[in-house]
């Protein structure tokens, strides 16, 4: 991939990125994907993931809160939500199963000092 195409892609990503967050872009020649890392204002990683050459989200994306704790684990296929996504919030973990951008099922676990309980929403 030549540098002009990469620069145009970086500009495109910049226009659609989240609220002017600082980011790093790196082209992976083996996978033909653009690896991106976004940062919170405090310098902690906010998100990591990949874009395909069409500018669509691809593969695993991870999100982190400002303290660096993982908050979301997601999977995209050509911009569509697929597979099991995990959302962490305090003592709650939600597992959301997607197929072609549609929610198929939701399971929620609540952690306390003794047990974890799964419920279907």
Q: How far is CA 45 from CA 35, 40, 62, 120, 121, in A?
A: 14, 6, 10, 32, 31
Paired tokens of 118: 């799964």
Instruction: State the CATH number of the domain containing residue 90.
Output: 2.20.110
Q: How many domains does the chain have?
A: 1
Residue 83 domain boundaries: 3-120
Per-residue pLDDT of the chain (121 residues; tens, 9 = 90+): 454 444 444 445 444 444 456 899 999 999 999 999 999 999 999 999 999 999 999 999 999 999 999 999 999 999 999 999 999 998 999 999 999 999 999 999 988 755 555 555 5
Q: How far apart are the first and last CA of the chain?
A: 46
pLDDT of residue 111: 81
* Integer Cα distance of 88 and 65 in angstroms: 10
């Amino acid at each position: 991939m030549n540098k002009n195409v990469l620069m145009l892609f970086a500009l495109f990503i910049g226009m659609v990125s989240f609220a002017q967050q600082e980011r790093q872009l790196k082209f992976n020649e083996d996978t033909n994907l653009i690896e991106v890392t976004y940062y919170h204002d405090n310098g902690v990683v906010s998100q990591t993931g990949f874009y395909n050459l069409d500018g669509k989200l691809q593969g695993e994306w991870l999100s982190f809160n400002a303290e660096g704790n993982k908050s979301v684990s997601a999977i995209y296929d050509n911009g569509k939500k697929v597979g099991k996504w995990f959302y962490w919030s305090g003592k709650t973990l939600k597992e959301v199963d997607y197929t072609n951008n549609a929610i198929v099922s939701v399971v929620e676990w609540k952690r306390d000092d003794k047990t974890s309980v799964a419920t279907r929403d």
